[in-house]
Structure 1
Amino acid sequence: MVSIGVVTNISKQTVALLENSCHSAHVVAVASYPSTTLIPNERSEMFVMFERVNERTSYKKRVSLLDK
């Protein structure tokens, strides 16, 4: 299973997204796109992949959350 969300740097400083700091039980991988370094007010998508517990039911083409 993959969870996708948007992160926004609401601080007044550049922030580095440390993907390797996002580990926890059942997390397989973490990635951000398009950048892991965000200047103030910049956004990036975060992808978190978890171990699959249930079978997939369907495939859907995903629209970027940054385009909304």
Structure 2
Amino acid sequence: MLFEGDAAALQVLNAALAQEPGPIRPLLALRDGGLYPAELLMTERATSTNTAAAGGNASLMSL
């Protein structure tokens, strides 16, 4: 969850978020006009193509 506001509102939101059932969710708060950490806002995915399944001929995989 992203938050921008004063410390009192942050404490209220943090307490409410802690009471929610389910998995723990991070709360990212901005301070002094800063930026949210980009590494926490993005998801990296890797894709791999197994050309051995096509007999080793990569051109068959693109059909």
TM-score, shorter chain, exceeding 0.5 = no
For normalisation by structure 1, the TM-score amounts to: 0.25
Structure number with higher helix proportion? 2
Q: Which has the larger radius of gyration?
A: 2
The higher-RCO structure (CA 8 Å, 6+ apart) is 1
Structure number with higher strand proportion? 1
For normalisation by structure 2, the TM-score amounts to: 0.25
